[in-house]
Structure 1
Amino acid sequence: MFITLMRRHTKGILVKVLVGLIAVVFVFWGVYAIREKPGSKIAYVNGDLITGLEYDAKYREILDALQKQYKEYWNDSLIKAFQIKQRALNSLIEKRLISQESNRIGLGVTDDEVANAIFTYPAFQVNGKFDERRYRTLLNYNRMEPADFESSIKLELLGKKIQNFIKCFFPTTDMEIMNYYSYQKEKVNIGFVSFNPRDFKGKTEVKQDEKEAYFKAHKEKYRIPEKIKIAYLVLDPSDFLDKVSITEKEISDYYELNQERFKNPKKIKARHILLKVSPDASESENKETKERALSLLKRLKNGEDFAALAKKYSQGPTASRGGDLGYFTRGKMVKPFEKLAFSLKKGEIGGPVKTRFGWHIIRVDDIKEATVKTFSEVRNQIVTIIKNDISKEMAHERALTLMDQMPYDIDLATYAAQHGLTAKETDYFPKKGAIPGLGGDERLIKSIFSLKKGETSEIIEHKGKFYIIQVVDTKSSHIPKISEVSDQLDKDFINHLSLIAAKREAEGYLEKLKGGADWSELAKIKGLETDETGFFTRGDNIPKIGYSSLLSEVSFALSSQNRYPDEVFVVNNKVYIIRWLAREELNQESFDKEKDSFKQMYLLMKDRRIFNAWIQSIKEKAEIKIVTPIE
């Protein structure tokens, strides 16, 4: 792909910047330097043609992204599994519709707007000004014509305009933000009693015709999933280790060329005094804490003992040790702390510096500069590295040779035996779960299940080994005969009858409560224990009960005037009756602090929902004619 090639051959930092910027445009619009090929027609969208070259470019873009994601687990059978052809066409259709609708409502992008966008592109700037020579040089380096790049910029600007235009019709009010915040944050507390179906087992008669009717109604529960059996040949690099020989020169050369790998990084030993302050503390609270830190710093500069002051005033976990943090390298501490600590000399005190934890004063007690381990220290390590690398190359080369020479329709086990190897064979296994002998890697499972019976995979690298995999047999998903699942069916049907009995009892109990019976007294009469969940939000698992979206929503619909719902709830095979107890009032101060972040979340969600609905609406009204079927 064009972008891939650019990245592969990019050297200059400015070119890298341009590649990144252009990639953003391509990801959204799928724009490539397209030259229409006569007779290459894929579809018409309200009379506008989608060419074969456009389709091919978008197809390659999606394919390339998936191949990068799946890496060594990729095989071409996944093209169908991911519906890449349809996704590419849908993307182009939507792009056409956006462009057409923009023209219809009078939205456009002027040449001046395109020029301004290009003039302000950071990659084309020299000393803060647009440089035409750099512009043309970078486009030429990336084999792009100015007209193609300018067209992509125009489409990007048009996309932003249409989204902003649609948003104008759906202004967001403070009340919407408050409602969204309330929906996410409000809490209720409910009381409950539960009925366990186990207490009702054996109290109902099991009838054969009812059991058969139950099986018929729930047959999908007993569906046997699709299963496959595979044979696989594994090329393990460790089997090639005894064939690897290396010279002393190769070992020493590796050491000289890879000294960064054997560095002991710079370490410092430091102490600190932490005065905690919350990240959302008020300005006055933050200022007061900083002033206390400055006061301590002054005392330290006047010669007071750092460890003693740390023990007395520090609010961090190292206070009891006089603030001693021990030795640490870069990357171990939060950035502001690290930046100051590594800038200090031995014995120097610095600060105060602010982090998310509060204000810190730091003293560096010792510094160990970066060093490179000696050759003798790492020689054995280098030998292992080189041998592993070479043995891996040998295993991969062997796998490639086997694949190249393998007849198209040969049985893998037979082929392996012809080459003095043994192919392993699994039992049948479903898509959900682990592959016998290979584990449960999701990408590997999806890759294997995309193969048909008799098909052989490409070479797959998995956990450091190379595999050639062939699907030996498949079993389609099917509903078993009732006799095949009789034992499980008997258990399930008895549980079903017990649950029905428990629900019936609970419904009668709820009816009495709604008729005016006292919550505590009725429980005492029936020998049941009442309990309460404690406060929870809509997104929480309901404490002491478990997850149930229905029970949660009903709980939030109840109130002091309407404490009981109209139904009982089955959660985790128990039947629950709930009673509203209390609602926790929202904290206005908390809302004011979190309002901006919640507003951003809400706007993103709302804009996406509105734009998707708009796209779907115009798509349903459009005249779309497929000229060349893509399947």
Structure 2
Amino acid sequence: MLLSLMRKHAKSWLIKFLITIIALVFVFYFGYSFTSREGVKVAYVNGELISGLEYERAYADFVERMRAQYKDFWNEGMVEALQLKTRALEFLIQQKLLAQEAERLGFSVTKEEIQKTIMSYPAFQVDGRFDLNRYRLLLNHNRMAPEDFEAALRQDLLQEKLKQFIFAFTEVSEKELMEHFLFDNEKVKIQYAFFSPNENADVALDEKAIKEYFEKNRPRYKIPEKIKVSYLEFNPEDVKEQVTVNEADVVQYYENNAKLYTKPEEVRARHILFKVPEGASEAQEKAVADVAAKVRAQALEGVGFAKLAVMYSESETRTKGGDLGFFSKETVPLDLAVVKDMIFGLKVGEISEPVRTPSGYHILSVEERREGGLQPLDEVREKIEEILVKKTASEMAKDQALSLVDRLPYETPLTEFAAENDLSVKESDFFDSRTGLPELGPDPKRDLSTLFALQKFETSEIVEIGGKYYLFQVADRQEPRLPDFGEVEEKVKADYRAELLLDETKKRAESFLKALRDGESWDVMASKENIAVETPPAFTRRGSVIGIGHNQAFNDAAFRLSQENPYPQEVFTNERGAYVMRWEGTEPVDMELFEKDKSHLHDAVIEIKHRQAFEGWLDDLRKHAKIEIVSPVENR
């Protein structure tokens, strides 16, 4: 069960990130010097070796992270495009430099610091306290020995001390804050002419050109990676009959959640509304108030309130005699919220004075009152028992799942294990990360993205979907592949046609822009070409433009324009069409925001300066370091 409990928390981003990074750091500094593969030399950093094994592990980590990031768009060609081999080596060199500099400056980490850090991680705790068994078992699940983890954690803490040392000299001036504030908050005003493709145009599609287009853009039609999974379902409904709820549990839940079963005071009231027109004059206001007073006088003389509501009220409740039903102070009709205290102060049968609300004048009468208070246990017992049964059944189902995980041998086919233990295992068809598993409910993709990072016969953590618990195992995998033309022919033809239409649209926009830059009038050209002109709200450098969305190149071009240079050098396109902009001006910056946001702005700027300082410091270390590449990684 302890391993199960730790598996429950192993999905925490904190612990997974920590273990991944620290495991990598451990390998870089402490691991595998005793293996024969240590003899493969990749580089020396100030005389300290980077072994082949260190490099291979770092490179594999980079590839895995990029694969997870790009998902369906990943292909092996991206290793070269993203320069992953070089980046892995640069990372290792950086780590060596950091460790060496920390030692030179005399920084160290004590055993007490390591212990305190480990004991503070929530994933290693049970009921808020550090649990040694959970700590060891969770590391075991991630294939790390405690001593290795602690050694690597020492290195991580050492680097944090280095950063604190560097950042101690970082300051932010008022001038820097103002510069960043203006950069982030300045707004530009433009107009833009929008050119849309003519979808009804007759476009000749040449078969040879289509196939050439396909070959050029073939990666766009890549068929994503697909997996087939075996999985076990643990349904709380299947164990409900095993659940017994005793009286002590019911009482404890009732007492601990008394607020849930405390009813507020409620009244049932009627009202008569006399609307006041928006922007009414003082005389109009008085005239409505006088009518309300006269109707109230009739009610006081004994004319039925409901009857008066039917005759005079301008509310939609008029047909019900002004009946508002029962309500509490929390559920009072919105328009009456401003007078709720007055309403609840009325006695049953009492008629209020005319009171003003945003809609007009109201006369109200309270007809019934329900006192608030804690409901008797017997009135809510059945609901509490249902809650406890559901909660307990869910815990039992999850415990069953976690217990099974403890017993499941590593990389054993789930189908074999299920057969040996008389369990009902289900098997899916092949699916990709976009389609998910429809049989699991209306949101089939939820919580399943991590399955694509698993290897064949590797088992997932326990996943909750729709109140049920699942254990998945990858049974088979189809690698992503580029399709043949016939598999995507219709899609390719549609895309090729759209590209031709967009090219033609862009040419029209470029002709329009050239005329403007040659001196033609914006208004005359827009009318001549019958082009729609939009005037979006002013926007910031990083803001979205209404009608276009966020296009950083578009924004950057807009901020380069001025009264003397109102038109850009080029048109801009997206999937909708082509755009030509014209500078209209700038919008004054609200300087009150500077004082209001100064603290947040200071934190943002200091973070930028910290990053720049750290990167500059690393660059300086590298310039003065003796780095010898023994085995170029590009050849590996």
Decide: shared fold, TM above 0.5: yes
Distance in 2 (alpha carbons) for counterparts of 1:234 and 1:196: 51
How far has the Cα of 1:448 moved from its partner? 1.6
Residue 480 of structure 1: SS of its match in structure 2? coil
Partner deviation per Cα, 1:155-183 (whole Å, 9 max, x = no partner)? 86554223324x3xxx6444432221122
Structure 2 residue aligned with 1:194? 194
| C-alpha separation in 1, matches of 2:335 and 2:626 | 65
Which residue of structure 2 lines up, in the alignment, with residue 584 of structure 1?
Answer: 587
Does the 8 Å CA contact 2:263/2:374 hold for their aligned counterparts? no
CA contact (8 A) 1:240 1:395 kept: no
Match of 2:611 among 605, 608, 612: 608
Given the alignment, which residue of 372, 389, 394 partners 2:392?
389
User: Does 2:143 match 1:164?
Assistant: no
* AA at the equivalent of 2:533: T
Question: Alpha-carbon deviation of 1:497?
Answer: 0.7
Aligned partner of 1:526 among 525, 529, 534: 529
1:535–1:415 distance in 2 versus 1, CA, 3 Å: same
1:321 aligns with 2:339: yes
> How far apart in 1 are the matches of 2:343 and 2:94?
57
Q: Does 1:251 align with 2:267?
A: no
Residue 391 (structure 2) pairs with residue 425 (structure 1): no
With over 3 angstroms needed to count, the CA separation of the structure-2 counterparts of 1:152 and 1:420, relative to structure 1, is closer
Query: How far off is 1:200 after superposition?
Result: 7.0
1:583 alignment partner, SS class: strand
Work out whether residues 241 and 387 of structure 1, in 8 Å CA contact, stay in contact via their aligned partners in 2: yes
- Tell me the amino acid that sits aligned with residue 223 of structure 2: I
Residues 1:210 and 1:326: Cα distance change in structure 2 (over 3 Å): farther
SS of 1:430's equivalent in the other structure is: coil
1:445 CA drift (Å): 1.9
Deviation at 1:500, TM superposition (A): 0.7
Q: Which residue of 2 aligns with 1:184?
A: 184
Note the 1:189-338 alignment, pairs <5 A: 189-198=189-198, 201-202=201-202, 204-242=203-241, 244=242, 246=244, 251-264=246-259, 320-321=338-339
- Residue 458 of structure 1 contacts residue 468 of structure 1 at CA under 8 Å; is this kept in 2? yes
User: Is 1:542 the equivalent of 2:551?
Assistant: no
Q: Distance between the aligned counterparts of 2:552 and 2:172, measured in 1?
A: 27
The change in CA–CA distance for 1:159 and 1:325 in structure 2 (over 3 A counts) is farther
- Deviation digits for residues 317-366 of structure 1 (CA, Å, limit 9, x no counterpart): 97731667989xxxxxxxxxxxxxxxxxxxxxxxxxxxxxxxxxxxxxxx
Render the CA deviation track for 1:187-222: whole Å, top value 9, x for unaligned.
Answer: 1111111111125731x4322222222112211211
Residues 273-321 of structure 1: per-residue CA shift (max 9 Å, x gap):
xxxxxxxxxxxxxxxxxxxxxxxxxxxxxxxxxxxxxxxxxxx997731
- Cα contact 1:233–1:422 (8 A) shared by 2: yes
**How far 1:91 moved relative to its partner?**
9.4
- How do residues 68-147 of structure 1 correspond to structure 2 at under 5 angstroms? 97-98=97-98, 100-101=100-101, 107=105
Which amino acid is 1:160 matched to? Q
Q: Which amino acid aligns with 1:503?
A: K
Cα deviation for residue 108 of structure 1 reads 5.1
Shift of 1:589: 4.5
Counterpart CA distance in 1 for 2:535 and 2:159 is 57
Quickly say closer, same or farther: Cα 1:193–1:255, change in 2 above 3 A.
Answer: same
Pick closer, same or farther for the CA change 1:323–1:221 going to 2, 3 Å. farther
Distance across 1 between alignment mates of 2:481 and 2:108: 60
CA distance in 1 between counterparts of 2:545 and 2:89 reads 44
In the TM superposition, what whole-angstrom CA distance separates every residue of 1:385-439 from its partner, at most 9, and x where no partner exists? 1465157426743784598478965572x76577766543333221234332236
1:465 alignment partner in structure 2: 468
Query: Contact 2:235 / 2:397 at 8 angstroms: preserved in 1?
Result: no
Query: Hey, what's the Cα distance between the residues in 2 that align with 1:325 and 1:617?
Result: 73
Task: Tell me which moved more, 258-267 or 528-537.
Answer: 258-267
Whole-Å Cα distance in 2 between the matches of residues 373 and 161 of structure 1?
62
Match of 1:437?
439
Question: Partners of 1:420 and 1:616 in 2: how far apart?
Answer: 61
CA distance in 1, matches of 2:19, 2:452: 31
> How much does 1:262 deviate?
3.4
Give the secondary-structure state (helix, strand or coil) at the position aligned to 2:474.
strand
| Bigger mean CA offset, 591-600 vs 540-549 | 591-600
- Distance of 1:26 and 1:468 partners within structure 2: 23
The one-letter code matched in structure 1 to 2:580 is I
5+ long unaligned stretches in structure 2: 6-17, 52-57, 62-86, 117-134, 136-150, 266-333, 346-370, 631-636
Root mean square deviation of aligned Cα: 5.5
SS in 2 for 1:468: strand
- Under a length normalisation based on structure 2, what TM-score does the superposition of the two structures give? 0.57
Give the 3 Å change call, closer, same or farther, for CA 540–47 of structure 1 in structure 2: same
The one-letter code matched in structure 1 to 2:194 is S
Letter in 2 for 1:511: K
Q: CA deviation at 1:99?
A: 5.2
Equivalent-residue separation in structure 1 for 2:163 and 2:591 (angstroms):
38
Return the alpha-carbon distance in structure 2 between the equivalents of residues 452 and 50 of structure 1. Answer: 28
Q: Which amino acid aligns with 2:258?
A: K
Query: How far 1:88 moved relative to its partner?
Result: 13
Q: How big is the shift at 1:100?
A: 3.3
From 490, 493, 513, the equivalent of 1:510 is 513
Q: 1:575 maps to which residue?
A: 578
Aligned in 2, Cα 1:397/1:109: closer, same or farther, shift over 3 Å? closer
Distance 1:110 1:400 in 2: 42
Distance in 1 between the 2:526 and 2:486 partners?
A: 43
Unmatched tracts of structure 1, length 5 or more = 6-24, 52-58, 63-86, 122-141, 143-147, 270-315, 328-367, 627-631
What TM-score results when the alignment is normalised by the length of structure 1?
Answer: 0.57
Structure 2 residue aligned with 1:497: 500
The CA deviation at 1:154 is: 8.5
Change (3 A) 1:471 1:565: same
Report deviation, 1:549.
Answer: 1.2
Give the structure 2 partner of residue 310 of structure 1. none
Tell me, in whole angstroms, the C-alpha distance in 1 between the residues paired with 2:166 and 2:437: 48
Per-residue deviation at 1:526? 1.6
**Do the aligned residues in 2 keep the contact of 1:192 with 1:530 (CA within 8 Å)?**
yes
Q: Once structures 1 and 2 are overlaid, which stretch shifts more, 529-538 or 497-506? A: 529-538
Distance in 1, matches of 2:568 and 2:543, equals 20
**Cα 1:393–1:587 shift into 2, 3 Å:** closer
CA-to-aligned-CA distance 1:444-496 (integer Å, 9 cap, x gap):
32332123344444654444323232333322111111121111111111111
Residue equivalent to 2:11: none
User: Does residue 554 of the first structure (1) align with residue 557 of the second (2)?
Assistant: yes
Q: State the distance in 2 between where 1:232 and 1:624 align.
A: 50
Aligned-residue offset at 1:510: 0.8
Aligned-partner Cα distance in 1 for 2:618–2:629: 18
Q: 1:38 to 1:472 in 2, by over 3 A?
A: closer
SS of structure 2 residue aligned to 1:610: helix
Output the CA distance in 2 between the equivalents of 1:26 and 1:449: 20
Distance in structure 1 (CA, Å) of the matches to 2:50 and 2:335: 64
Q: CA contact under 8 A between 2:462 and 2:471: conserved in structure 1?
A: yes
